[in-house]
Structure 1
Amino acid sequence: MATFKATAETAAKNLESGRTLRELSDLFTPMAIRVAITLRIAQKIEAGRLTSDMLAADTNTDADILERVLRHLVTVGVLTQNESGQFRLTRIGEDMLVENGKAANPPWLDLETVAGRAELAFTRLLDVVRTGEVAYSAQYGTSFWDDLTRDPSSGTDFDVVMAGGMERRIREIAEAYNWGALESVIDVGGGNGTLLAGLLNAHPTLRGTVLDRHSEPALRTFKDAGLSERATALSGSFLEPLPSGAGGYILSRIQSDWNDADVRTILVHCRAAAGLDGKVIIIDEFASEEGVRCDSEDDLRMLVYYGGKERTLEQVSALAADAGLSVESLRTAADWTVMELVPTRH
């Protein structure tokens, strides 16, 4: 988690590097990099398409305009260009490459994905500060989540990104809590089922269900993992009443994506479905208690994309109390926390 010291050190490094306010605030360099990533310029250069004419032909773009964009990337050290007009990648430019031949972090930097489009909503940050509106919805006339629902491929890309962060922590999450004692769980908003599959593999008596926008991705995950007899998936929304009867209701990386009112609604639905004996379990990385967000960039993304926020344990606990839930236990799983909630006893 971030601390004030870490934030101060970052500011000091910026000062020592001589970076100016203009360099910290320009838009043309980030946009030029995003254009290059969207067009897979790095991959094409690696494949021998070295001139602007060749690159323009491969990307169906204007050669003169593309060269002007690429020359800016030369200026900032992402590319080099020799006297013959051939472009090469610098060490920094190589960061646009990954082993599978796709641009690095394409869902966030590729302007043709829903997450990449969401970055452009930051141009409305002043309106957000003044009005509290959700920038993504104002920019595109629809919510981020509705875009995912309308475009299955974007939803798949988003689920893959979310699962990537989960895969590194599944073993610790599985060991941090006695999941088998719950007998059955519903992973509410569980995406493509990566977390649930990991829990089922670690706890052979556990059964589970993923509930998310579309059931097909999770069903494929369970089939590929040989878990179809113990796992299933349902299409639905946690903003509506949930199926009852499971021993536990998991909310993994959910609470920061929504405003306070929606988080209360989600928790109320989980509590109602869990009944008197069920558990509601939040798995997440929480903001630090020193008043500094665990990741200021992610906090602003939550604000601009969804109207959400990075919350502290205390803030989430307060929302849970509003929903009739009390914190039973807190466990550490890698750099995340497993928060066990139970119905408040009066």
Structure 2
Amino acid sequence: MAASPAHPSPGNHPHLPASPLHDLMYGHIYASALRAVVLHGIPDLLAGGPRSAVDLAARSRTQAGPLYRVLRLLAARGLFREDAGGTFALTEGSEALRAGVPNSRRAAVLLFTDVMYRRSAEGLTDTLHTGEPGFEAAYGAPFFEYLVAAPDAGRLFDTAISSLTDGVNAQVAGSYSFPDRGTVVDVAGGRGGLLREVLTRSPGLTGVLFERPETLADHLLDSGETAGRWRTEGGDLFAAVPEGGDLYLLKNILHDWPDADCLRILATVRRAMAPGTRLLVIDAVLPADGTPDPAVALDIVMLMMLRGRERTAAEFEGLLTRSGFRLRGIVPTPSLTSIVEAEAV
């Protein structure tokens, strides 16, 4: 007997594809499911091959029923692969969630699904009224000040950002024609990952890593390829930066700050530079025509957490021109960031 049109058989149910609105409404559910499987080490348990939810539950000390349902949800988004027998396997996306693998995104997932990001996102309703970051309303302090006072959060942030930028450093260094000779000054360059990559690729260059002293204590420049070609200098990028460099780098710095502070930073850097010296501002560059771009989501993270923003090419040019620079061009990279090349005038 044929199934009634009002009650279609399970195999022929006319499901509608998920709409963008559906995905947005359920976004926090997907994020929470992702965090749960990462915290319970499920991607690492699947490293040796497919396993059933019952097996995974026994190994992770979780409940098989709830675990199966969460994995099924994430498999529907391509993060895992489920076969007809209910076993799950890694995909390219979940392979990157394992601990200790190259370009692991485990720490990044734990950072961006952390309660401090969730609470800041919940504050967007008030941010639209006040213009103030939701983070500051929730925690009573600017983001970076809070990280200093909360060591666990600070370590998570540093680990996650390092994991996200390790691959980017190679992509940036490989996308720009660095000179054969001279001194590169990496301003607020973190632990020095980008400078190390640049010096490794260009044996004739020397480098200066300029950062806060507490960050320099854990720098990454001690490697055989760069021996004798670098030094560190501690300080405040709003006060003064090392003079005499032939090329200056500002990677993922300007997007942390509003325009007024960016102008202060750029003015400080310009005072250290001779006319004709090059500056590379390495940040995401938003399309001006509304073309979809992943940096648009990063711009909302800036709105939630800090007082900075992502910018278009015209906005970068405006800041640079007002600070004594001339925009030379923009070099794309395979990563989210581009290289905005400027010259001191």
TM-score (norm. length: structure 1): 0.74
Cα 1:228–1:128 shift into 2, 3 Å: farther
Does structure 2 conserve the Cα–Cα contact (< 8 Å) formed by 1:108 and 1:119? no
Q: Distance in 1 between matches of 2:96 and 2:290?
A: 36
Residues 225-274 of structure 1: per-residue CA shift (max 9 Å, x gap): 43231112234442332233323321123222222122112111111222
Cα 1:273–1:80 shift into 2, 3 Å: same
In the alignment, which residue of structure 2 is the partner of 1:132? 131
Q: Distance in 1 between matches of 2:329 and 2:106?
A: 34
Cα 1:333–1:18 shift into 2, 3 Å: closer
1:209 deviates by 1.0
In the alignment, which residue of structure 2 is the partner of 1:270? 269
Residues 161-211 of structure 1: per-residue CA shift (max 9 Å, x gap): 2232121231222x2x4363xx22210122232322232234333221112
Secondary structure at the residue paired with 1:222? coil
Larger helix share, 1 or 2:
1
In the alignment, which residue of structure 2 is the partner of 1:158? 161
1:1-346 pair list within 5 angstroms: 17-19=17-19, 21-26=21-26, 27-45=28-46, 55=57, 58=60, 63=62, 67-68=65-66, 70-75=68-73, 77=76, 78=80, 88-90=87-89, 95-98=93-96, 101=99, 105-110=105-110, 113=111, 116-117=114-115, 119-120=117-118, 121-149=120-148, 150=151, 151-152=154-155, 154-173=157-176, 175=177, 177-178=178-179, 180=181, 183-213=182-212, 214-218=215-219, 221-276=220-275, 278-292=277-291, 294-295=293-294, 296-327=296-327, 329-330=328-329, 332=331, 334=333, 336-343=338-345
Cα 1:248–1:170 shift into 2, 3 Å: closer
Q: Give unpaired runs (5+ residues) of structure 1.
A: 1-15
Does structure 1 conserve the Cα–Cα contact (< 8 Å) formed by 2:45 and 2:56? no
Cα 1:186–1:57 shift into 2, 3 Å: same
Q: Distance in 2 between matches of 1:291 and 1:71?
A: 37
- More contact order relative to length (CA 8 Å, sep ≥ 6): 1
Cα 1:143–1:114 shift into 2, 3 Å: farther
Does structure 1 conserve the Cα–Cα contact (< 8 Å) formed by 2:251 and 2:281? yes
Cα 1:107–1:208 shift into 2, 3 Å: same
Cα 1:248–1:32 shift into 2, 3 Å: same
Cα 1:36–1:79 shift into 2, 3 Å: farther
Cα 1:333–1:204 shift into 2, 3 Å: farther
Q: Distance in 2 between matches of 1:198 and 1:90?
A: 35
Does structure 2 conserve the Cα–Cα contact (< 8 Å) formed by 1:115 and 1:158? no
Matched length: 311
Residues 53-110 of structure 1: per-residue CA shift (max 9 Å, x gap): 9747746xxx45x853652442563576999xxx742566x73234964595123312
TM-score (norm. length: structure 2): 0.75
Q: Distance in 2 between matches of 1:289 and 1:37?
A: 36
Does structure 2 conserve the Cα–Cα contact (< 8 Å) formed by 1:40 and 1:102? no
In the alignment, which residue of structure 2 is the partner of 1:11? none
Code of the residue aligned with 2:247 in structure 1: it is G
Does structure 1 conserve the Cα–Cα contact (< 8 Å) formed by 2:43 and 2:98? no
**Where does structure 1 differ by over 6 angstroms across 4 or more consecutive aligned residues?**
none
Residues 116-155 of structure 1: per-residue CA shift (max 9 Å, x gap): 4554222222222221112233333444433554434642
Q: Cα RMSD between the aligned structures? A: 3.5
Cα 1:90–1:45 shift into 2, 3 Å: closer
Code of the residue aligned with 2:94 in structure 1: it is M
Cα 1:294–1:262 shift into 2, 3 Å: farther
Code of the residue aligned with 1:97 in structure 2: it is E
